[in-house]
Amino acid sequence: MSANTYASIVAASIFFGLLTIAALVALVFYSRSERRIQRRLDSPSDVTIADDFNSDNTLLQGIAKQGKAIEKMMETQGETSRLLIQAGWRDTQSRMIYYAFQAIMPLAMAGLAIAGGLTIKGKWFDPPLIYVVVFGAVAIGILIPIRVLRMFAGARSQRIRREVPLFVHLLVMLFDAGLSTRQAFSNLVREGGGVLPELGVEVNLVLRQVEAGGDISEVLRHTGEVLEVGDLTTILGVLRQVDRYGGEIREPLLDSLKVIEERRALDMRELVGLISGRMTLVMVLFFFPALLIFSAGPAVLSFMRAFSGVTGP
Cα–Cα nearest to 31, from 100, 88, 87: 100
Residue 62 CA to residue 311 CA, distance in Å, equals 90
Compare 5 and 268 and report the one with higher pLDDT. Answer: 268
Q: What is the residue extent of each domain of the chain?
A: 3-158, 160-261
Condensed to tens digits (0 to 9), the pLDDT of residues 29-59 reads: 555 555 544 544 444 444 344 455 555 567 7
Mark out the alpha helices in the chain (DSSP H runs): 3-41, 58-74, 79-86, 92-120, 127-176, 181-191, 199-211, 216-227, 230-245, 250-282, 288-308
Where is average pLDDT lowest: 86-90, 137-141, 219-223, 293-297? Answer: 293-297
pLDDT confidence of residue 156: 93
Rounded CA separation 10/5 (Å): 9
Q: What is the pLDDT of residue 150?
A: 92
- Whether 90 and 50 have beta carbons less than 8 Å apart is answered as no
Distance CA 115, CA 122 (A): 12
Identify the three-state secondary structure at position 193.
coil
pLDDT for position 13: 59
Angle between helices 199-211 and 127-176 (to 10 degrees): 70
List CB contacts of 206: < 8 A, sequence separation 6 or more.
185, 216, 219, 220, 223
**Looking at per-residue confidence, does 76 or 171 come out higher?**
171
Mean confidence (pLDDT) of the chain: 78
The pLDDT tens digits of the residues spanning 70-128 come to 877 776 677 888 899 999 888 888 888 898 888 898 888 888 887 777 776 655 566 66
* C-alpha span between 202 and 86 (Å, rounded): 10
What separation in angstroms does the CA of 140 have from each of 17, 109, 116, 126? 15, 8, 15, 21
Q: Give me the helix-helix angle, 230-245 and 127-176, nearest 10°.
A: 40
pLDDT of residue 80: 87
Q: Pick the residue with more confidence: 132 or 202? A: 202
Condensed to tens digits (0 to 9), the pLDDT of residues 255-289 reads 888 988 898 889 888 888 888 888 888 888 888 88
For residue 256, the tally of other CB atoms under 10 A from its CB is 18
Q: For a pLDDT cut of 90, what percent of the chain falls above it?
A: 8
Q: Measuring CA to CA, which residue among 153, 45, 44 is closest to residue 98?
A: 153
2 or 172, greater pLDDT: 172
In whole angstroms, give the CA distance from residue 243 to residue 264: 27
Q: What's the gap between Cα 30 and its chain centre?
A: 23
Name the CA radius of gyration of the chain, rounded: 29
Classify residue 78 as exposed, middle or buried by CB count within 10 Å of its CB (0-12, 13-18, 19+).
exposed
